[in-house]
Amino acid sequence: MSEYIPDKWLMVKISSDKFPCVYKIFATWYGGWAGSDSWKLNSGVTKVTLNENVYSFEGSSGSVYQCHKDTYGSNMYGSSVLNNMIDTATKNGISIEILPEETNFMELNYE
């Protein structure tokens, strides 16, 4: 099992007429002076728990993303990558929706 603690994160809902909707974590990290910014899209959230201000999102691959409530959003690099994904998906009949920060992530149906 891999565990990730992103600097910034977003929840996206991916859906189309061809398959059921799935919720995924789009995570970004700042590279700092010696590296470059990076991103990951998890395999699909299957379960979420909340411990104080940190969500633990379990993915279908077994990975866990520890996401602090106060870091919802994306860096500029991640926004560019995600907007490109959204454009490409739309051209292929797939919808990628960024959920608002006010979303109650505990009440979504991850099945």
- From first CA to last CA, the distance across the chain in angstroms is 20
What per-residue confidence (pLDDT) applies to 84?
Answer: 97
Per-residue pLDDT tens digits for 85-111: 999 999 999 999 999 999 999 999 998
What per-residue confidence (pLDDT) applies to 46?
Answer: 97
The pTM (predicted TM-score) of the whole model is 0.94
Q: 42-45 long-range CB contacts below 8 Å, 24 or more apart?
A: 42/4, 44/110, 45/11, 45/108, 45/110
